[in-house]
A and B are shown apart, each in its own frame.
Chain A
Amino acid sequence: MNTELLGVIVTFLITVLLAYPLGKYIAKVFKGERTITDFMDPLERLIFRISGINPTESMNWKQFLKAMLGINLLWFVYAFFLLLFQHKLPLNPDGNPGQTPDLAFNTAISFLVNCNLQHYSGETGVTYFTQLFVLTFLQFVSAATGIAVLAALFNGLKEKTTSSLGNFWNLLVKTITRILLPLCIVSAIVFAFNGTPASFDGKDTITTLQGDTVQVSRGPAAGMIAIKHLGTNGGGWFGANSAHPLENPNYFTAMLQLVLQVIIPIAMIFAMGFYLNRKKFAYVIFGVMTVGMLCLLIPTIITEINGNPAIARLGVAQATGAMEGKEVRFGPALSGYWSIVTTIISTGSVNSMHDSSMPLSGLMQLLAMMINAFYGGCGVGILNYYIYIIIAVFISGLMVGRTPEFMGHKVEAREIKIASLVWLLSAVLVKGGAALAAYFVTHHPDVAWAVKPSAWLNNPSYHGFSEILYEFTSSNANNGSGFEGLGDNNIFWNVSSGIVLILARFIPIIGPIAIAGLLANKKFIPESPGTLRTDSLTFGAMTFAVIVIVNALSFFPALALGPLAEYFSLQ
């Protein structure tokens, strides 16, 4: 067991050690300073020339959002139609069918918004063509969108008074050429050398040692697995995601995938410190987020190592912990760590089945997604945290009786209204969606959808409710993991979670950018002894308290009905 805990600690330390220099590098890229990737310059110039982009043209917050939303709409239309007609396209060695319109809607949205909720199974629901030209493509650009938007926020915070947030096209392209692509190429090759398939060959049919005939799904998976983690996307090549032994062949690849998925979210915090020249501010944020992560992680690992009390009552040994839904090569400690990492940062890839996690772990996974700002997804994690900061600034301001200020700008009614709406939105989407689904399960169990509401839940009682709650929480957090027992490939889930996905992606992006744009336009007020210091430990604790209170108010009743009730019933 000790080698397992050591594995977790080493993985986290490596991540932080690598994230620091990466953050420094990212800050340089966005400042346009010289970096070791300057050899990408000709490629970038070519991309700009073909597309007719002037990368130095500055955009105000409205132009920036218009460019971002416009190209996202285009990507959605492109993805939707390709998924719909994938059976007529090349690179389909397994002869998989086209997606139904509702499934194509859900899949296109889900990958567009960096969520990667998968209501299909990778082996049968998509073709090699759509895996690469739709899903992998969207994994790159959706992550780059998040990072580009965060860079715009940095620009808004950096200048005393400005209307320019930078050029969206320039930030988008450079994120891909200078951050995502180089790291992906290296790690994808490492995966290929550890046994992940990379060739375009289709399913293989083999006769096993015992004489059974089975098929083995394959395909060019290695590249997708690199970007799915680096971009905090999470959508896997195979149905079982990173629990699949070809997608994640050994403990080393698991460590690498864990490092890859957390590295950019943490690096962006440090990048903010370097970019704004406010390192202490960044360290305090990193500290708060790490404390938050540990509060979720430690109970999870302990409960997974201790095993399932109901299995213990059957009289077998649980020396290896709770193993339902877990792989022997990973064990309970790393699987517990993975389940928290993937939910705090909105990756949503899994190396164990969360539906079979212990109730307390399920609670922590849900909480992680509800908060969605302990590190958080590529770019958007800090945007979410920014909303909490604005609320904390406001409340602190009220407490000391001064007009709240953040980085030299007055935070006034308009900004607070935007922040509150963004925060209230998630409670509405999660609880509203769960209520609607629970209504259909109890009152209309026989509606003639592809999966009847009576057959949605794979588990009875409290755990069944957790499956519903998890799906909407995951959609709202743009996370993409699931309690996968849920029968979700039907029009209700495809459409309802699709709508939640769009709203929960773009409103929490538009909100912070609008706030940043509005604040940056205001007159700069120099710091005085009376200014609330946002880089102090006190303010860090204040933000943490805001996060806890806001989420407890929003979600405690729902959590009590699901994982908490199951926890107490198991004791």
Chain B
Amino acid sequence: MKSFLIPIKLTLVLIILCAGIYPLLIAFAGKMAPGGGKGETVQVNGKVVGYANVGQKFTEDKYFWGRPSAVDYNAAGSAGSNKGPSNPDYLKTVQDRIDSFLVHNPGVKKEDIPAETVTASGSGLDPDISPASAAIQVKRIAAVRDLPASKVQSLVEAHIQKPLFGPAKINVLKLNVALDELK
């Protein structure tokens, strides 16, 4: 009888330790982290316009666009497209994205479009684009905003993050916030 109670009592103790005390400890430590453990936000004039790490949808010509998203950048969920590399429907979707990109960005050559501009991310919430992906949008944005292309170009360059390891990247939301502030 006594040995029958061991698993039950041990389970209760371990639940308190692993599911109670442990997460509370981390939540407490998280309060001291940037964003207070609730996620780091980006603000414009004191108003929250998004989370620094969570990508958002940009479709207007005056903003830099992020990558295609399988969840349309609604961060209530998250998912990739899960399309296989040989799927004909998928390849047609990519072709449509290329065509649409060329219409919005006259003067850009097809072979200059980086693949990540026309392929969906794993989470559907990718906050970043590559420097090449930003570079080919500079001309469009300069024209729409009536700014010299060189000014937009230098803003892009200022936003390139080059970590010690891993790819260079640009946070699209932060870049667009800075773009709005550009006079």
* A244 CB contacts on chain B under 8 angstroms: 78, 123, 125
The reply to whether B52 and A195 form a contact with Cβ atoms under 8 Å apart is yes
State whether B122 touches A240 (Cβ < 8 A). Answer: yes
Q: Which residues of B contact A197 (CB under 8 A)?
A: 30, 37-39
Pairwise interchain contact A355-B76, C-beta atoms closer than 8 A: no
What does the 1/0 interface line of A522-555 toward B look like (CB < 8 Å)? 0000000000000000000000000000000000
**Is B180 an interface residue, CB under 8 A from the partner?**
yes
Q: Is the CB of A462 within 8 A of B86?
A: yes
The reply to whether A124 and B33 form a contact with Cβ atoms under 8 Å apart is no
- Tell whether, in the assembled complex, residue A198 and residue B33 are in contact, meaning their CB atoms are under 8 Å apart: yes
Stretch with Cβ within 8 A of B (4 or more), from A99-107, A262-270, A316-324, A413-421: A316-324
Q: Which one of A239, A358, A461, A483 contacts B79 once the chains associate, using CB atoms below 8 Å? A: A239
- Given A52-B6, A239-B77, A317-B111, residue A355 in contact with residue B27 (CB < 8 A): no
Q: Report the Cα distance A10→B164, complex, angstroms.
A: 11
Q: Of the listed stretches A289-297, A326-334, A391-399, name the one at the interface; the rest are far from the partner chain.
A: A326-334
**Pair A358/B85 contact, Cβ less than 8 Å:** yes
| Known A324-B120, A355-B84; contact A316-B23, beta-carbon cutoff 8 A | no
A522 smallest CB distance to B (angstroms): 29
- A185, B33: Cβ atoms under 8 Å? no
CA distance A408 to B34 in the complex (A): 58
Q: Which residues of A contact B86 (CB under 8 A)?
A: 310, 359, 459, 461-463, 566, 569-570
Among listed B53-61, B141-149, B151-159, interface-contacting one: B53-61
Tell whether, in the assembled complex, residue B22 and residue A195 are in contact, meaning their CB atoms are under 8 Å apart: no
Are the CB atoms of A7 and B165 closer together than 8 Å? yes
| B95: nearest chain-A partner, CB-CB | A314
- B81-110: CB near A (< 8 Å → 1, else 0) gives 111111110110011001000000000001
CA distance A136 to B14 in the complex (A): 11
- Interface size, chain B (Cβ < 8 Å): 101
- CB–CB B124/A4 < 8 A: no
Which of A10, A67, A485, A570 touches B165 (beta carbons < 8 Å)?
A10
Verify A328–B167 contact, CB threshold 8 A: yes
Instruction: Mark contacts of B33-76 with chain A using CB atoms, 8 A cut-off: 1 yes-contact digit, 0 otherwise.
Output: 11111111000100011111111111110010001000001111
User: In the assembled complex, which residues on chain B have CB atoms less than 8 Å from the CB atom of A251?
Assistant: 163, 165-167
Known contacts A71-B11, A140-B14, A314-B98; is-contact A463 B40 (Cβ 8 Å): no
For B23, B57, B73, which residue has the most chain A Cβ atoms within 10 angstroms? B23
Interface residues of B (CB under 8 A from A): 2, 5-11, 13-15, 17-20, 22-23, 25-27, 29-31, 33-40, 44, 48-60, 63, 67, 73-88, 90-91, 94-95, 98, 110-130, 132, 162-167, 169, 173, 176-177, 180
Nearest 8 pairs between A and B by C-beta?
Answer: A198-B30, A485-B82, A7-B165, A243-B122, A463-B84, A353-B80, A251-B166, A198-B37
